[in-house]
Amino acid sequence: MRPGSTIVSTYSSACLVLALLAVNTSAYFIIDEPALNRQWPNNAVNLVTWSKGVLDGVNGFDVEMAQMGQDGLRLVARNVPSKPNSLNIMLQDIPAGDDYFLIFINSTHGVMHSTSSRFSILAASASPSSPPPAANPSVPTVTISGTPNPTQPFATTFPAILDNAGRPTVQLYKESPILIAMSMCFIGWLFGALWTLGW
């Protein structure tokens, strides 16, 4: 391999790593509740809360729940507005397990915003060793029940998410950093390649 092409390929991989880092750090989105090892009582209303970047352009998302050791997602709620930053989930006879987690995603195009820490759902008769935060009476409550069924639609669908001007949202802001970073990488790579070819 000519020395020039080694430089070019090193440059390309470094550039890609930086581009991915830039994209990840620009998207700050954390599910605060359920916190790690939180124990949600069954047949009760439990609180979900999150914190996220103010200017990330994500005005809403879809909530799904999964279990590590099991196939299949449970579709909890579609079009959850990002503000206010909480939602109640009423559990009805959900199978007990200590390996649940929540996924916040835009299921239209599959962009994942955040995943929660691993938490437990207790058997109906059990009570948590430390009480989870109380449900928030001023935000909506969505109900999920029984065993997961992958063909079931979202248990709750909220109205379509609108932007501040009342139009359906487009998430250009969120997609643009990687496009910009990739174009920069490509331009850099092109110059490197021309240089290698002795132009």
Please pick, from the candidates 73, 171, 182, 189, the single residue that binds ligand NAG as defined by CB under 6 A.
171
Cβ of residue 169: shortest distance to ligand NAG, in angstroms? 4
Residue span 30-59 as binding mask against ligand NAG, x where in contact by CB under 6 A, dash where not: -----------------------------x
Pairing between strand 97-106 and 111-115? antiparallel
Secondary structure (DSSP) of 83-102? SSSEEEEEEESPPPEEEEEE
Hey, what are 53's tokens? 């970047």
User: For residues 63 and 77, is the Cβ–Cβ distance under 8 A?
Assistant: yes
Stretch that binds ligand NAG, among 29-37, 65-73, 139-147, 168-176 (CB under 6 A): 168-176
Site mask for ligand NAG (CB under 6 A), range 137-166, x = bound: ------------------------x-----
Tell which one of 15, 34, 38, 62 touches ligand NAG (CB under 6 A): 62
* Residue number, 74 or 113, with CB nearest to ligand NAG: 113
∠ CA 88-90-96 to the nearest 5 degrees? Answer: 120
Pairwise CA distance, residues 174 & 191, whole Å: 28
Beta carbon nearer to ligand NAG, 11 or 29: 29
**Assigned token pair, 108:** 């239209």
The rounded distance, in Å, linking the Cα atoms of 118 and 99 is 6
| Contact between 45 and 87 (Cβ < 8 Å) | no
Give the x/- contact pattern for ligand NAG in 87-126, rule: CB under 6 A. Answer: -------------------x-xx-----------------
Q: Please give the residue ranges that form the binding site for ligand NAG (CB under 6 A).
A: 59-62, 79, 106, 108-109, 161, 168-171
